[in-house]
Amino acid sequence: MLERAQDVSSGVDAVKAIGTVSKDDYKAVIEPLINDARREGRRIRLLWECGPDFQSFTPAAGWEDLKVGFGAMRLFEGCAVVTDIRWIRESTRLASFLMPCPVRVFEVEDREEALNWLVSLPEGPGASHKLLTESKVLVIEVEQPLRTQDFDALAQTVDNWLETHDALAGVVVHAREFPGWENIKSLLRHVRFVRDHHRRVRKIALAANTKLAALVPHVANHFVQAEVRQFGYAELDDAVAWAASPPAPGPADAG
Task: Note the pLDDT of residue 80.
Answer: 93
User: How sure is the predictor about 214, in pLDDT bands with cuts at 50, 70 and 90?
Assistant: low
Q: Are residues 233 and 193 in the same domain?
A: yes
Instruction: Return the closest-CA partner of residue 153 out of 176, 126, 180.
Output: 126
Task: Note the pLDDT of residue 62.
Answer: 66
Task: Note the pLDDT of residue 150.
Answer: 84
Q: What is the CATH number of the domain that holds 176?
A: 3.30.750
Task: Report how many domains make up the chain.
Answer: 2
Task: Note the pLDDT of residue 132.
Answer: 92
Q: Are residues 40 and 152 in the same domain?
A: no
Instruction: Return the closest-CA partner of residue 16 out of 81, 86, 84.
Output: 81
Task: Note the pLDDT of residue 67.
Answer: 59
- Last residue of one domain, picked from the residues 91, 120, 149: 120
CA distance 247 to 255: 16
SS (H, E, C) 2-15: EEEECCCCCCCEEE
Q: Coil, strand, or helix at residue 203?
A: strand
Q: Are residues 106 and 7 in the same domain?
A: yes
Task: Give the list of residues 6+ apart from residue 222 with CB closer than 8 angstroms, or none.
Answer: none
Task: Note the pLDDT of residue 64.
Answer: 59
CA distance 176 to 208: 5
Single-letter residue type at 106: F
- Last residue of one domain, picked from the residues 80, 96, 120: 120
The CB density around residue 253, as the number of other CB atoms within 10 Å, is 8
Q: Are residues 239 and 186 in the same domain?
A: yes
Q: Are residues 131 and 41 in the same domain?
A: no
Question: Helices 31-40 and 59-72: crossing angle, nearest 10°?
Answer: 10
Task: Note the pLDDT of residue 210.
Answer: 66
Stretch 76-105: mean pLDDT = 85
Task: Give the list of residues 6+ apart from residue 157 with CB closer than 8 angstroms, or none.
Answer: 129, 131, 138
Q: Are residues 46 and 82 in the same domain?
A: yes
Task: Find the DSSP H helices in 83-142.
Answer: 86-96, 111-120
Q: Are residues 91 and 178 in the same domain?
A: no
- Last residue of one domain, picked from the residues 104, 120, 136: 120
Q: Are residues 135 and 110 in the same domain?
A: no
Q: Are residues 131 and 243 in the same domain?
A: yes
Task: Note the pLDDT of residue 237.
Answer: 95
Task: Give the list of residues 6+ apart from residue 201 with CB closer than 8 angstroms, or none.
Answer: 167, 168, 170, 171, 224, 226
**Predicted confidence (pLDDT) at residue 255 exceeds the cutoff of 90:** no
CA distance 129 to 231: 18
Query: What are the tens digits of pLDDT across the range 1-25?
Result: 999 988 888 889 999 999 999 889 8
CA distance 96 to 77: 13
Range name among 63-67, 138-142, 194-198, 239-243 with the lowest pLDDT average: 63-67
Q: Are residues 142 and 113 in the same domain?
A: no
Domain range enclosing 190: 127-254
Task: Note the pLDDT of residue 251.
Answer: 47
Buried b (16+ CB within 10 A) or exposed e, 77-111: bbbbbbbebeebbeebeeebeebbbbbbbbeeeeb
Query: What are the tens digits of pLDDT across the range 93-112?
Result: 887 766 767 789 999 999 99
**Predicted confidence (pLDDT) at residue 126 exceeds the cutoff of 80:** no
Q: Which of the pair, 246 or 69, is modelled with greater confidence?
A: 246
Instruction: Return the closest-CA partner of residue 199 out of 237, 158, 239.
Output: 158
